[in-house]
A and B are shown apart, each in its own frame.
Chain A
């Protein structure tokens, strides 16, 4: 217990003194996770709107399918991405395996169903009269869609935060396609995993604290944003 406490204190020291390794891993983790979340959101907003605002055969089945992929194991996505980008895979010629770029791609695939499903749910939660009101006020279809997305913004923020949370906290995918290369593809989760297995719990605790703090900051920010207009 004493060892854990001492490890905890040293970890805080590492954070306060801005330890270069801690900073570097944290920055890389944020860049990769934020990139994948932003790209996935930019893809999911129009696609989710397209699915929500159009009635087509199999729409319910498609939504069910998307929801099924919410809980797809990260290692399964990791394996698929690995096979696609490995030397003998269909996209092997791009030589992206064990790079931050492929980690971003993997995370996009991982969080895409979560954000898409929740965007559709968020849009469904908006009063259908909002779209028609906008149309009656002279909005084009695009403008009316934009106002409905705006009405659903808090639920969409939650979807994005959830996606970001899944991206930043996953470890299986990052290990498989990133390779946990020091100074290149090592992110917080893979570093925690590796350092803990090596017995260096100080760095693990420091990174763990940062991860938890990030989650808290993001959640508080979202709550404040939601309360602002209540």
Chain B
């Protein structure tokens, strides 16, 4: 069942469009992540959906009701939602009072407030901080107060705007753990904006990619990361092998793409003569030293031109007539004796190559 829907949502700041024709449908109990580069319009979208700003045009429906026009209705509906900001502001009062604010504004009974606040503080592991002045907490603790404050009102829809953007890895892990519990135990509908793709992948049921104020693609995390709809999405989700080519052959759905002097095979519906991009994720590239037999459809001979270590992984750049980037574990790279100048054989399956249309 659809909880929130937008129709033709457009927003303009200083004559500059920041959101263009946004059409979204958010289902009940769903976690929907809005990902996109900084400045793409993610926060503006969340602010419009929480009625903190009024859209220049378009409509927002909550539970089937058009909420866009009525100020009174907006307040009522906003009380069924909560918002956790990127840099949450806590009020200069105790942690307990900060979390209790929303309930007091909803005129709940004192004993109900006490019970709910205690539960919320337990949930975010801040029970022992209840009497502390919230202004004196660390960034991670402040974020957890903000989450407790948002959860305590038992919202039907929770907005999270970059909930871990300014946190260290340990605090990020704690906040994600809390969010995972909320998703698991409360079945709250969540719309989260993040530029952390891995976080979106970990927490979301569906992802919408927003680029330059427009929704470029909506799909499951797997679709977004493996089958990006266009160049912008591909670049944003970390597809680093983006190869320009032309389809020169087709047999059923197996197409041959000419890239410089090489050819790549992929599964695609495009026809012969169409100009395309072949997208291959670095982790789908396999390297071997000697020429050997492989079941992979695409095998390229080449030479390593750069090796960079990233944590436990080694990023290997090879010249195969076109630049090709792959990732192997540092240990594998050592065992294979990969070094700059080594002749290698790079391979990938035809199914690992995603083909998108290239407009001239």
Judged by a CB distance under 8 angstroms, whether B50 is at the interface is: yes
Q: Are B102 and A229 in contact (CB under 8 A)?
A: no
Q: Are B89 and A127 in contact (CB under 8 A)?
A: yes
The stretch of A11-19, A81-89, A97-105, A135-143 in contact with B is A135-143
Across the interface, which residues of A come within 8 angstroms of B91, CB to CB? 130, 133, 147, 150-151
The majority secondary structure among interface residues of chain A is helix
Distance (whole angstroms) from the CB of A147 to the closest CB of chain B: 6
Q: Are B78 and A135 in contact (CB under 8 A)?
A: yes
B42-92 interface with A by 8 A CB criterion? 50, 52, 75, 78-79, 82-83, 85, 87-89, 91-92
Q: Are A132 and B52 in contact (CB under 8 A)?
A: yes
Interface residues on chain B, number (Cβ under 8 Å): 22
Q: Are B89 and A136 in contact (CB under 8 A)?
A: no
Judged by a CB distance under 8 angstroms, whether A217 is at the interface is: no
Residue of A nearest to B159 (CB): A136
Q: Which among A135, A138, A147, A151 has the greatest number of chain B C-beta atoms within 10 A? A: A138
Residue from the list A129, A136, A140, A147 in contact with B50, Cβ < 8 A: A136
Q: Are B105 and A140 in contact (CB under 8 A)?
A: yes
Q: Are B50 and A134 in contact (CB under 8 A)?
A: no
Across the interface, which residues of B come within 8 angstroms of A150, CB to CB? 91-93
In the A-B complex, list the 8 residue pairs whose CB atoms are closest, starting with the nearest: A136-B83, A138-B79, A137-B102, A129-B89, A139-B105, A133-B89, A143-B105, A138-B102
Distance (whole angstroms) from the CB of B56 to the closest CB of chain A: 19
New A-B contacts (13) at CB < 8 Å, excluding given A136-B50, A140-B75: A129-B85, A132-B52, A133-B85, A133-B89, A133-B91, A136-B85, A138-B75, A139-B102, A139-B105, A140-B105, A143-B105, A150-B91, A151-B92
The majority secondary structure among interface residues of chain B is loop
Judged by a CB distance under 8 angstroms, whether B149 is at the interface is: yes
Residue from the list B87, B105, B133 in contact with A138, Cβ < 8 A: B105
0 or 1 for each of A2-27: is its CB under 8 Å from B? (1 = yes): 00000000000000000000000000
Report the number of A-B residue pairs with Cβ-Cβ less than 8 Å: 52
Across the interface, which residues of A come within 8 angstroms of B78, CB to CB? 135-136, 138
Across the interface, which residues of B come within 8 angstroms of A229, CB to CB? 92, 133
- A134–B88 Cα distance when bound, in Å, is 11
Distance (whole angstroms) from the CB of B20 to the closest CB of chain A: 24
A-B contact pairs, 18 of them (CB 8 A): A129-B85, A129-B87, A129-B89, A133-B89, A133-B91, A136-B50, A136-B78, A136-B85, A137-B105, A137-B153, A138-B78, A138-B79, A138-B106, A139-B101, A143-B105, A151-B91, A229-B92, A229-B133
Q: Are A138 and B153 in contact (CB under 8 A)?
A: yes
- A138–B157 Cα distance when bound, in Å, is 13
Residue of A nearest to B90 (CB): A133
Residue from the list B52, B89, B105, B153 in contact with A130, Cβ < 8 A: B89
Q: Which residues of A does B touch, CB under 8 Å?
A: 127, 129-130, 132-140, 143, 147, 150-151, 229
Q: A143-B105, A147-B101, A229-B133 are in contact. Are A136 and B52 (CB under 8 A)?
A: yes
B266-320 interface with A by 8 A CB criterion? none
Across the interface, which residues of B come within 8 angstroms of A147, CB to CB? 91, 101
- A133–B98 Cα distance when bound, in Å, is 11
Q: A147-B91, A151-B92 are in contact. Are A137 and B149 (CB under 8 A)?
A: yes
- A150–B101 Cα distance when bound, in Å, is 12
Q: Which among B87, B89, B149 has the greatest number of chain A C-beta atoms within 10 A? A: B89
Residue of A nearest to B83 (CB): A136
Distance (whole angstroms) from the CB of A152 to the closest CB of chain B: 10
0 or 1 for each of B80-119: is its CB under 8 Å from A? (1 = yes): 0011010111011100000001100110000000000000
- A132–B43 Cα distance when bound, in Å, is 14
Residue of B nearest to A151 (CB): B92
Q: Which among B50, B52, B101 has the greatest number of chain A C-beta atoms within 10 A? A: B101
Across the interface, which residues of B come within 8 angstroms of A132, CB to CB? 52
Q: Are B82 and A136 in contact (CB under 8 A)?
A: yes
- A11–B79 Cα distance when bound, in Å, is 62
- A140–B87 Cα distance when bound, in Å, is 22
Residue of B nearest to A146 (CB): B105
Across the interface, which residues of B come within 8 angstroms of A143, CB to CB? 105
Across the interface, which residues of A come within 8 angstroms of B82, CB to CB? 136-138
Residue of B nearest to A129 (CB): B89
Across the interface, which residues of A come within 8 angstroms of B75, CB to CB? 138, 140
Across the interface, which residues of B come within 8 angstroms of A135, CB to CB? 52, 78
- A137–B79 Cα distance when bound, in Å, is 7
Residue of B nearest to A230 (CB): B133
Across the interface, which residues of B come within 8 angstroms of A130, CB to CB? 89, 91
- A7–B153 Cα distance when bound, in Å, is 66
Q: Are A134 and B101 in contact (CB under 8 A)?
A: yes
Residue from the list B87, B92, B93, B101 in contact with A137, Cβ < 8 A: B101
